Amino acid sequence: MQVVSATFAPYAVERVCDMRVVFELVDVDAAATAVPDCSDSCSLTQLEQTHDSVLEITKKYAAFEWDFWRLDGSFPLPEEDLTGTQTGWWSGGISDDSGTFAEPPILSFSFFHNQSSVGFTIYFDALANQYPTVFRVVTFDLNGEIVTSLDVENQEAKCVINLPTENYRHVEFQFQKTSEPFRRVRVCEVVFGIVQYFDRNNLSGGALTYELSPISASLPSSELSITIDNSRHAYNLINPKGLYAYLQQAQPLDAYLGINGEYVSMGRFYFTTAEAEDSSMTAKITAHDRVYWFEKAMYRSGSTGQWTLAEAVSQVLASCNFDVEVVMPESISGRAVGKALLECTCREALRLLAQAARCACYIDRNDRLVFAEPEISAPADTLDNDNMSAVAKIKVSEQINAVELTVKDEYAQTQTVYRAEDIAVDEQEHVAAYSNAVAVDGQAVADWLLSMAQRRLTYTLDERGNPAREIGDTAVIYDAYGENRPALIFKEAYGFNGGLSCDTQAVG
């Protein structure tokens, strides 16, 4: 369950709903590969911080600049050791009494490979409200020829520069004038792109889908799709001259749903596709969570033997070059799993490891890879007749009274079949078969799969939608029989069209 205020009322009688999406149209590897340089700097400078994704200087630091340092306690002195402090780049030169530089200080970035950006965003010193008002941006190709240039006039501590540029190797920011006289230029962060903001004013619709498999039969990827106004043909798929030319897979989108002014984070997604709709008057942007990208990398380091789940997950992610935070309780992390993974995708490797450790895994709204035991717990929400458009549909799945789990280690050339059963006298056998090469604690896994299969009630319901509720949460679901039982939420599909709704599935 997401943390919300005490006054958050997702099922209020009257709701004003909104969807916000922040789309970072940023070159996905520019910040990581940029080599910064500058014409001059003062002792507060930490040049590598100019492209580290931190957008604000730590404090409003006192500096030797005319009529700037106030003795009211609001200006702390800089620490001698700047470790752990965000300062970015401070120019060595100071502007004159008109705010103009005799020699414009220059901040630049070079790259070993061609970069393409729809523009640039510069974060200056917002705490001290110090920024340049006039500067020039110039980009160069591999041969030192100018690709694009722009003279910028600025009046804020954050400056968005619309300068679409393809295949540049070097960019310079030449600062000519500051907002006040006798000031240095302070740059906290340079973003190699711009950020687009969408909400109910320019969204015609949006959808968010989340899902987990309680028995790790699959590893679903959460999906975000938004439909936006494309009347200006920014997303021109035939002759891309607008934003489409700078769309790159894995550019991040952060989504939020709001009810009566309070917004709830719906997680981070990464751009996958864009397509024109309605005679190109609208454009549909689709993005997925990290699981989608796990499908793009292969794991080829299987062997015989065993290790803990924590060790296995760490090795798989490292081998596939994924840097992602992992959340795993101690009760799960030490469980034994095998190493006998045949060549497979990173996504499939993680699924098999989760199942072998008797748990589920998914990406949460904090962009973390979570391993958890799916179980019905204290209810986080109640879905009653006031919150549903109709009574919940209930399906009783086929009875499974036996499970057979095959564990085949191709490296050790061994195969074991584990069986768990709960068959009553004179009852017909109904077997579910599974295969998992890394389920070294095979009997425990078979017993777990059988216990999960005996949760036969599946709820499907159309409801108003509570953005704070997440997959893996427990909700009390009202039914036509008055049982009103708790159930584990395993799928949510939110729809936004000016209002908010949700198709929810749960198992009980």
How many angstroms separate the most distant Cα atoms in the chain?
Answer: 98
The CATH number for 1-25+195-375, chosen from 3.55.50.60, 3.30.2420.10, 1.10.3720.10, 3.30.565.10, is 3.55.50.60
Residue type, 187: V
pLDDT of residue 80: 76
Q: Using one digit for the tens of pLDDT, what is the confidence trace for 361-373?
A: 999 999 999 999 9
3-state secondary structure 232-290: CCCCCCCCCCCHHHHCCCCCEEEEEEEECCEEEEEEEEEEEEEEEECCCCEEEEEEECH
Q: pTM score, two decimals?
A: 0.85
The DSSP output letter for 79 is P
CATH 2.60.120.260 residue spans of the chain: 28-191
Residue 285: closest CA among 268, 305, 271: 271
pLDDT computed for residue 66 by the predictor: 85
Q: Which pLDDT value is given to residue 49? A: 97
Give ranges for CATH 3.55.50.60 in the chain: 1-25+195-375
Distance CA(474)–CA(404), nearest Å, equals 29
Query: Residue 446 has what pLDDT?
Result: 98
Q: Which of 240, 242, 122 is nearest to 171 (CA)?
A: 122
Which residues of the chain, if any, have pLDDT below 70?
70-74, 76, 234-245, 279-280
d(CA 120, CA 156) in angstroms, rounded, equals 15
State the first-to-last Cα distance of the chain, in angstroms, to the nearest integer. 19
How many other CB atoms are found less than 10 A from the CB of residue 146? 10
* Consecutive H or E run containing 354: helix 346-356
Mean pLDDT score across all residues of the chain: 93
- DSSP at 129: T
pLDDT 10s digits, 435-457: 999 999 999 999 999 999 999 89
Return the pLDDT at 84.
Answer: 86
What is the amino acid identity at position 456? R
CATH of domain 28-191: 2.60.120.260
**CA dihedral sign of residues 227, 229, 231, 232:** negative
